[in-house]
Amino acid sequence: MLTISAIPGDIAASDADAIVVSLFDGTTSLSGGTEIVDKALHGAISELIAEKEITGKHGEITMIHTLGKLPTKRVIILGLGKREKLSANVVRQVSGSLGRYLKRIGAKRAATLAHGAGIGGLDAGTAAQAIAEGITLGAYAFVQYKSKKDDQPGNALEVLEIIEQDTGRMPSLKAGVVKGALLSEAVSIARGLVNEPANVMNPIKMAEIASEIATSAGLGITMLRREDMVEHGMGAMLAVTQGSANEPRLIIMEYKGDLDHPDNNIALVGKGITFDSGGISIKPSGGMWEMKGDMAGGASVIGAMHAIAKLKPKINVWGVVPAVENMPSGTAQRPGDIIRAMNGKTIEVDNTDAEGRLVLADAICYVKEKMGAKRVVDIATLTGAIVVALGHVTTGVFGTSQSMVDAVLAASKVSGEKMWQLPMFEEYRRQNRSEYADVKNTGGRPAGSIAAAFFISEFTGGVEWAHLDIAGTFMAERTQGHEVKGATGVPTRTLIELVEQLAAS
């Protein structure tokens, strides 16, 4: 476990295993803590800059052994990139690389400057939060199934001190550290759930973990079982689960932050398909393993609820996860089946692989009709088409409420999790028309992600609704900055920020 703190003082006096200073790309005259450390090293940093050994380019890491010139054994110089391009996200990214570097050299205790808060011009709290998030998330590893000792987190960083001379900045630095540590915890929860294989992370296991988190954080928790789904007429969710040997759960975590105003609420609904084989419309086997992460939306909701419980915003929040496995079997639903969702609408199941929208349909009907949700944001690894449109960089945002969409986009600007709105022009709606039922669960190849959003919108009448398609962003193909190959935990931090912003407005 990493403990991060902000303490007043002079970084050059620190006897940590390593101290971390930084500089911008193209800097020739040093300032602040970096200058002080350079002086103590008799100008070693300036000399390396003059020799172009150190450039300050984004993510550059240079280590100098102090050989007795300072109480610490090592000085690390971190490149922040061009000064005019500095942002919280840059600090988060370079801190991610730093986190892995500190782990590699076996540093247990490190001290760092609040990169970006000095001449970088970032607010001290923002900088501290970004450092805490970057270092923690960049050093994240999913290793519990690795037997060898060197894969285990034995040599992980244990203490990180953000050292600042200006005592006036301490309160915001401290607040930033606390928030950054909490958000990292939330993201790590989400990543862990996604990285777990589907033989472990089935709907019941997901429900158990949500329940443990709820209990320890003081949240309410309710679970709907198959019988309850039958009672509520959740034919869409039941149709998806009917091919699986694993029992489904509708998980509902409840945070009450504004008891006097029950309508001041939001439901975060995360797709929780613990494995998506495609069902009878089975997927090709290559890359199918990735579908163990088809519950990434649900995972981000569970992670976010953990943090929301501790941040205590003045708003009521439900975290809702329809947890279901999509499998082919003799009891599975078939293409052509017609099913009835909780709101009475009939659905022609053209393709059993378009299962996410089916479970979301019933979950959204439930939060509207049974819980009185006024605002709904759903998060889902919904379509391969969003990967074609936006690649692995950007989450697609949709919605029938522009103010909800705007709120999501504003939150994503703060979190640094990239998002972009796609249109919901009425002309697309007809793609989901069915010959035999009220609506069909596929909309053809053109604009597949928009058609999917339109399908969900058949079940969101009467609430302010936004939808996030994270099929391109839930997994990282490579380790870079604060992201580690595997689950990203996106959009956990955006959800937390969104709830805080809504509570404050």
What are the catalytic residues?
283, 357
Q: How many CA atoms, within 13 angstroms, populate the side-chain half-sphere of residue 310?
A: 16
| Total residues at interface with Zn ion (CB under 5 A) | 4
The single residue among 276, 348, 464, 469 that binds Mn ion, judged by CB under 5 A, is: 276
Residue 491, preceding bond cis, omega within 30 degrees?
yes
* Minimum gap (Å) between residue 272 Cβ and ligand BES: 11
Rule CB under 6 A: say whether 353 interacts with ligand BES: yes
Q: How many CA atoms, within 13 angstroms, populate the side-chain half-sphere of residue 179?
A: 20
Cα 423 from Cα 453, distance rounded (Å): 10
Rule CB under 6 A: say whether 182 interacts with ligand BES: no
* Minimum gap (Å) between residue 130 Cβ and ligand BES: 28
Rule CB under 6 A: say whether 112 interacts with ligand BES: no
Query: Which token pair is 256?
Result: 């009450």
Rule CB under 5 A: say whether 325 interacts with Mn ion: no
Rule CB under 5 A: say whether 294 interacts with Zn ion: yes
Residue among 404 and 475 whose Cβ is closer to Zn ion: 475
How many degrees, rounded to 5, is the angle at CA 458 between CA 455 and CA 462?
140
The single residue among 14, 89, 316, 442 that binds ligand BES, judged by CB under 6 A, is: 442
- C-alpha torsion angle, residues 432, 437, 438, 440 (rounded to 10): -20
The single residue among 62, 346, 351, 434 that binds ligand BES, judged by CB under 6 A, is: 351
How many degrees, rounded to 5, is the angle at CA 204 between CA 200 and CA 209?
80
Rule CB under 6 A: say whether 355 interacts with ligand BES: yes
User: Which positions from 355 to 374 touch Mn ion by CB under 5 A, shown as an x/- string?
Assistant: x-------------------
Binding partner selected for residue 93 from Zn ion, ligand BES, Mn ion, none, CB under the kind-specific 5 to 8 Å limit: none
User: Which positions from 346 to 365 touch Zn ion by CB under 5 A, shown as an x/- string?
Assistant: ----------x---------
Q: What are the start-end ranges of the E strands in 352-421?
A: 375-380, 395-399, 419-421
Residue among 254 and 353 whose Cβ is closer to Zn ion: 353
* Minimum gap (Å) between residue 383 Cβ and ligand BES: 4
Cα 499 from Cα 119, distance rounded (Å): 31
Instruction: Calculate the CA 225 to chain-centre distance.
Output: 27
Q: Exposed, middle or buried: residue 405 (CB in 10 Å: 0-12, 13-18, 19+)?
A: buried
Binding partner selected for residue 16 from Mn ion, ligand BES, Zn ion, none, CB under the kind-specific 5 to 8 Å limit: none
Residue among 80 and 201 whose Cβ is closer to ligand BES: 201
Phi-psi region of 426 (alpha: psi -120 to 50; beta: other; left: phi over 0): alpha
| Total residues at interface with ligand BES (CB under 6 A) | 15
Rule CB under 6 A: say whether 381 interacts with ligand BES: yes
Q: How many CA atoms, within 13 angstroms, populate the side-chain half-sphere of residue 351?
A: 17
Q: Which amino acid is at 77?
A: I
Q: Single out the residue of 311, 351, 357, 323 nearest to residue 493, CA to CA.
A: 311
Rule CB under 6 A: say whether 384 interacts with ligand BES: yes
* Minimum gap (Å) between residue 353 Cβ and ligand BES: 4
Residue among 276 and 500 whose Cβ is closer to Zn ion: 276
Q: Are strands 61-65 and 74-79 parallel, antiparallel or unpaired?
A: antiparallel
Query: Which token pair is 159?
Result: 């203490």
Binding partner selected for residue 384 from ligand BES, Mn ion, Zn ion, none, CB under the kind-specific 5 to 8 Å limit: ligand BES
Rule CB under 5 A: say whether 458 interacts with Mn ion: no
What is each CA distance from 44 to 119, 158, 197, in whole angstroms?
22, 28, 49
The single residue among 353, 417, 458, 483 that binds Mn ion, judged by CB under 5 A, is: 353
Region of 39-47, 369-377, 382-390, 406-414 interacting with ligand BES (CB under 6 A): 382-390
Q: Which residues pair with 408 in a beta bridge?
A: none
Rule CB under 5 A: say whether 325 interacts with Zn ion: no
Binding partner selected for residue 400 from Zn ion, ligand BES, Mn ion, none, CB under the kind-specific 5 to 8 Å limit: none
Rule CB under 6 A: say whether 241 interacts with ligand BES: no
Rule CB under 5 A: say whether 276 interacts with Zn ion: yes
Q: Which residues pair with 109 in a beta bridge?
A: 159
List of residues contacting ligand BES (CB under 6 A) = 276, 294, 351, 353-356, 381-385, 442, 448, 471
